[in-house]
Amino acid sequence: MRVLMFGWEFPPHISGGLGTACYGLTKGLAFQDVEVIFVVPKAYGDEDQSAIKLIGASGVPVMQRTVQFYKNLTEESLPRTELTSKEITYLEVGSMLMPYLSPEEFETFVNEKIEAKDYKWEKLLRKSQESKAVESKQIGTIDFSGKYGPDLLQEVSNYGLIAAEIAQGQDFDLIHAHDWLTYAAGIAAQKISGKPLIIHVHATEYDRAGENVNSLVFDIERMGMEAADRIITVSNLTRNTVVNKYGIPEEKVFTVYNAVEPNAKIEEDSIRKHLNEKVVTFLGRVTFQKGPEYFIEAAYKVLQKTDDVRFVMAGNGDLLRKMIRHAARLGITKKFHFTDFLKGKDVDRMFQLSDVYVMPSVSEPFGISPLEAMRSNVPVIISKQSGVSEILKYAIKIDFWDVDAMADAIYGLVKYSALSDMFSKHGKTEVDNLKWENAAKNTKEQYTALLENIKPQ
């Protein structure tokens, strides 16, 4: 079985849950003997030199290389034989697409990039803007205009055109596209190849924007959902959104829960806490969707009652300044810290330092970060409005708006050691049993079911 997958972000450039999920799932699928051709938009300047450079007729650079997966990262000593390793084909498409950007943010982002002097794509970009004046170029049978326009929606459809081109050159059984920015690519590939399309919904516009949905984005999402032969959602919460808000028939939508990679080996002693105080952490983008203000309110309540707790808000986002001001206004900054965006090792280190992890998301289709916390033995408090709350047992679940309950749960975990001990002990076991292998197995079942349904006709 060969799958053409339109995904996001491979290590080392992972900026959030979507990249982590794509990586974990692809790796899991490779070990389920699914051949994956993994296509990513990529605008970073540090391409692997071993990659094969493919320049599409469109002039868009496409890099092809082989990515090797090893069965268990934690057991370095294992011989890297064929049994323990798998390969996938990895295609990088020169594109400015990034996850989590709204059309408006994309514009700012692209403009900033243009200003960066030694930015590698700069020339291409200029060229494309120049070429805009020349109208469109003929590439095969596809009209392709303005390669790197600052308009996200334009970029989405451009990416779709490249996808169509890739689809022509590859052999595969089905197409799997992750989140709305790649739906157009998925549909294009579906049209060109006639192969079935699965779209994987990690989040919807309702999760990103609340009720103020961008109707253009909504339309692209619905188009993808309607065109798809099958839809995978990351939780029943998201499944309900897809069914109720997008009007998609239930029987087409299936939930496959995400998972988490087991810890890479940790040098436990390397990180020592220098404080006797308990540390309560929020880690994620500081945006409306993540509910940072509820965390601050709960922190304020806890700090009224007890002194030996510190709070950390780790992450960046459009609400960060507002949150800093809010904490200052409440007079808790002595005990409330902001770290800005953390990545890689720093994330692990933050978890190691934490005694409680809080995810107060207003809307969270899944939410991998609590699993990462639990993997590091950190007890978690999660909002009931998160997909991950559907599968976790050893977690305190609260309504994101219920600041009293959140504060009470924090206080309980900090003060009553029986509770935190129980969570550390059983929580770790619980997440270790949520394996990407299982998620991949469930995904493969969807593939098989879809292919069997379609073949007889």
Partner 1 sequence: MKSICLYFQIHQPFRLKNYRFFEIGADHYYFDDYTNQSILRKVARKSYLPANQLFLKLIEQFPGRFKISFSITGIALDQFALYAPELIDSFKELAATGQVEFLAETYSHSLVSLSNEDEFQHQVMTHSERIEELFGMKPKVFRNTELIYSDQIGEQVYRMGFKAMLTEGAKHILGWKSPNFLYYNVHQPKLKLLLRNFKLSDDLAFRFTNQEWSEWPLTADKYVDWIKGVDENEDVINLFMDYETFGEHQSAESGIFEFLKEFPKRIIEETDFEFLTPSEVVKTCQPIAPLPVPFPISWADEERDLSAWLGNELQNEAFSKLYSLRNDLKLANSPELMADWSYLQASDHFYYMCTKFFSDQAVHNYFNPYGSPYDAFINYMNVLSDFILRLEEAIDRDRYKGVIVDELDEEMLYEAIDRYALVLKRLRKRRTQLERNNPKGQAKK
By C-beta, is 177 or 380 nearer to partner 1? 380
Task: Please spell the DSSP secondary structure of 10-63, one letter per residue.
Answer: -TT---SHHHHHHHHHHHHHHHTT-EEEEEEEE--S---TTSEEEE-TTS-EEE
**Binding of partner 1 at residue 419 (CB under 8 A)?**
yes
- Assess whether the previous peptide bond of 12 is cis (omega < 30° from 0): yes
- Among positions 39-78, residues that touch partner 1 (CB under 8 A) are none
Q: Where are the alpha helices (DSSP H) in 32-151?
A: 103-115, 122-133
Pairwise CA distance, residues 317 & 100, whole Å:
11
Pairwise CA distance, residues 186 & 43, whole Å:
20
Taking CB under 8 A as the criterion, the residue among 87, 307, 421, 445 binding partner 1 is: 421
Minimum CB separation from partner 1 for residue 396, in Å?
A: 5
By C-beta, is 201 or 380 nearer to partner 1? 380
Taking CB under 8 A as the criterion, the residue among 272, 274, 334, 393 binding partner 1 is: 393
Tokens of residue 228, six digits:
């798809």
By C-beta, is 187 or 302 nearer to partner 1? 302
- Using only C-alpha atoms, what is the Rg of the chain? 23
Pairwise CA distance, residues 55 & 417, whole Å:
59
**Binding of partner 1 at residue 422 (CB under 8 A)?**
yes
Query: Taking contact as CB under 8 A, which single stretch among the options 70-78, 83-91, 153-161, 417-425 is the one that binds partner 1?
Result: 417-425
By C-beta, is 48 or 404 nearer to partner 1? 404
- Among positions 249-308, residues that touch partner 1 (CB under 8 A) are 301-302, 304-305
Taking CB under 8 A as the criterion, the residue among 35, 173, 277, 408 binding partner 1 is: 408
Sequence letter at residue 332: I
By C-beta, is 265 or 425 nearer to partner 1? 425
Q: Do the Cβ atoms of 67 and 32 come closer than 8 Å?
A: no
Taking CB under 8 A as the criterion, the residue among 285, 375, 397, 444 binding partner 1 is: 397
Minimum CB separation from partner 1 for residue 393, in Å?
A: 6
Q: Where are the alpha helices (DSSP H) in 194-267?
A: 205-209, 215-227, 236-246
Minimum CB separation from partner 1 for residue 342, in Å?
A: 28
Minimum CB separation from partner 1 for residue 323, in Å?
A: 22
12-24 CB burial, b ≥16 within 10 A, e <16:
eebebbbbbbbbb
Which residues of this chain interact with partner 1, rule CB under 8 A? 301-302, 304-305, 393, 396-397, 404-405, 407-409, 411-412, 415-419, 421-422, 425
